[in-house]
Amino acid sequence: MEETVICRLCLEPIYNFICVNCLGKSVSRWLSKMNSSLLSGSQKFHNFLLNKFSSDQNHEFCIKCKNTIDTVICPYCYVKEIFWWVFDEDATLANKFAKQFNYDFMGLGYLPNVKTRNLTPPAIVVKGERSDISICESCGQVSYDLKEKNGSWLCESCGDL
């Protein structure tokens, strides 16, 4: 039986794990192009996350660098933490960061310029033919022939009303 690794921040299962070191390298490359003065601060924050969330019990294999790492944070949570760190340093840069590392932290949707229909998912309801409980929900009498009508289980006489 294979054990599922859980993110230490959001407590959700991690599938297709990309380690914080690989993500940190991507963030550092991006910051070096956008605002290199923030590189040392981002590295300090990265090391803080590594130390804070490392674990002796959990290890995960990175699908990018092929290393096993003991800081088990999902890519979403790591990038979200970095986003808020960047936001505290430079809100304008954080907006660019959110577009580059798009996890929709700002709640704009993945395609903010595309108008979509307001779709409502269909409700799937399974209705039984008969009730296992033999008491009419209208009159309270015991009946062996209850039928569902408008969401209630009714005896034959109440169902005809």
Separation between Cα atoms, residue 69 and residue 62, nearest integer Å: 7
At 94 the pLDDT is: 87
Question: Domain total for the chain?
Answer: 2
Structure confidence at residue 4 (pLDDT): 75
Q: Within a domain: residue 132? A: yes
pLDDT at site 131: 46
112 in a structural domain = no
Which segments in the chain show pLDDT lower than 70?
1-2, 104-133, 161
Give 54's DSSP letter.
B
**CA nearest neighbour of 71 among 146, 17, 15:** 17
87 and 134 fall within a common domain = no
Question: Of 58, 80, 100, which residue is a domain's last?
Answer: 100
Site of tokens 């800081």:
71
Cβ(17)–Cβ(58) below 8 Å: no
**Residue 8 located in a structural domain:** no
120 lies in some domain: no
Would 30 be classed as within a structural domain? yes
Residues 36 and 76 in one domain: yes
Residue 33 pLDDT:
92
Domain span at residue 148 reads 128-161
Residues 34 and 77 in one domain: yes
pLDDT score at 129 = 53
Is 5 within the bounds of a domain? no
